[in-house]
Amino acid sequence: MSSPLRSGAEMTPATPSGSVVEHGTDDVDESHGGGDGHPAGRLGSVFWTSVGVSALFAGWAALFTENLNKVTADSLNWVTSTFGWAYLVVTLAILVFLVCLALSPAGAMRLGKDTDRPEFSTLTWFAMILSAVMGIGLVSYGVAEPISHLTNPPHGLAEPNTSAAAVRALQYSYFDWGLNAWAIFAVFGLAIAYSTYRKGRRTLVSQLFVPLLGARVNGPIGKAIDVLAVFATLFGTTTSLGLGALQVNNGLGTLFGIPVNSVTQVLIIAAVTAIFTLSAVTGISKGIKFLSQGSTLLAVALFVFMIIVGPAVFIANLYIESVGLWASDFFRMSLQGTAFGDLEWMQMWTYFMMAWWVSWGAFVGVFLARISRGRTIRGFITGVLVVPSVVFFTWFAVFGGTAIHVDLFQGGDIAKRTTADINSAFFATLDHFPLADITSVIAIILVVMFFVSGADANTYVLSMMTSDGSLTPRRSVLVLWGVITGATAVVLILAGGLTALQNVVIVTSLPFLVIIAGLVVSFWKELGADRKEKADVER
């Protein structure tokens, strides 16, 4: 993901003292006092606890790899078999809450003062949201998920490698990457923007619980919430880093015969970690702007190329049919659990995807809040839920639909290659069309751009959350979180690659799922109180 967090105006609370300076220096923003009486930016218990436990986890993974894999695998099975339903119920409940909120009178309230107006035009705002969603996942799963579902249809709803399986494949891809995912991001973005811009609080997850906990958010409970937010964000980031390394390695292997193994992947992570850490420390807004614009242009170019050379008519028909089935089956999919099996499939796909979205909630929430000051709640919800979902649906239909057409009607081997190595799916598809070497290079560059810009912004958010919400984290903190993020990704790659990444992100996201559920209750309570107060004043 690319981020405007450090370019242009900073994300400042709606208070007179909300002045900040460009981050990346040792200066600390002290415009907001810490909850424990310390100035914002001072390294307190959240920082030391987060760093200490992260170091212990990295040491555990490096020194006792087999034990880590056993513990995380056992934990995964327990979490998903016991609480897998919670991911389904909570995400659907959040989506229903957001739709009701958008349709209610509260939807007219602004994220900021009543006199505030959006900083960006609607078209620019949409473009920035799109630049955020254009992540590594589009390349990692744009082909891999649909083609995998073609050969192994979800919940046995179709015979493998049939037309019915093709429609189901896209239907479930839409579910994993659509409204439910963006509902998590939207509710975080709403709550953070409202808390920061309208209430003048620090940009910390714990501050979102003031309506429920009051002054206790500045004590041990609030600090525990912030530590959980740090870990969810850290493991969401490392999962993306790991996926990025696997994709780049596969692309380089396809083009240049470079070995696809853990050594190469570790070298890729090390190189990219150095780049994004340097970017985070220097705060070079032009570089981030270039990455954001460049990655969007490359993604659009690759998309248009595939429409031109691919089976356009087939894609259009499959798109319409699969969207129709997704819409008609939406609530069934949203509540379909594992009462009669399919636990392994859900762990690989739906549970993993939902856990990944939960772990990215805090970061994406800060991103969305940063670009949405002055917008109405109704406009924010509509834009954040609809625009990214349409983009993902279209991308999956074009690339996944093309791969399905190649295998069903042209005797292709994309599904076979994906089964052997899921990270080869995108490049296997490009191999079946003209200019495969050039498009593969573009795909690799695209992944690296997403890699760097997303990790850079995540490093900043981790540093901010462990610096008492300071918008100007110290350089030493930025470097440390860059190193911790890269090191965690490395040890998980060495511990078991994609399986280890998936296991850890699911297990560590469960406590944060509880935080998100509480956040919704707190936000609704605050909205109700504010509307009542406003009505009393108007009388």
Domain count, the chain: 1
Q: Is residue 16 part of a domain?
A: no
Q: What is the pLDDT of residues 98-141, one digit of tens each?
A: 999 999 998 999 998 888 898 888 887 887 777 655 567 788 89
Q: Which residue has the tokens 């399919």?
A: 342
* Interior angle at CA 470, CA 464 and CA 474, nearest 5: 70
Q: Is the dihedral of CA 93, 96, 102, 106 positive or negative?
A: negative
Q: Provide the residue range defining the domain that includes 113.
A: 45-538
Q: Is residue 37 part of a domain?
A: no
Q: Is residue 31 part of a domain?
A: no
| pLDDT < 70 stretches in the chain | 1-42, 131-135, 282-292, 497-498, 536, 538-539
Q: Is residue 59 part of a domain?
A: yes
Q: What is the pLDDT of residue 415?
A: 94
Q: In sequence order, which residues have a C-beta less than 8 Å from that of residue 359 and are 6 or more positions away? A: 232, 233, 235, 236, 239, 505, 508, 509, 512
What's 420's domain CATH number?
Answer: 1.20.1740
Q: What is the pLDDT of residues 360-416, one digit of tens each?
A: 888 888 888 888 899 999 999 999 999 889 999 999 999 999 999 999 999 999 999
Q: Is residue 174 part of a domain?
A: yes
Q: What is the pLDDT of residue 33?
A: 40
* Distance between CA atoms of residues 523 and 119, nearest Å: 24
Going by C-alpha positions, the residue among 74, 455, 82, 60 that lies closest to residue 236 is 455
Q: Is residue 175 part of a domain?
A: yes
- Residue 395: phi and psi, rounded to 5, are -60, -45
Q: Is residue 259 part of a domain?
A: yes
Q: What is the pLDDT of residue 243?
A: 81
Q: What is the pLDDT of residues 408-443, one digit of tens each?
A: 999 999 999 999 988 889 999 999 999 999 999 999
Q: What is the pLDDT of residue 498?
A: 65
Q: Is residue 17 part of a domain?
A: no
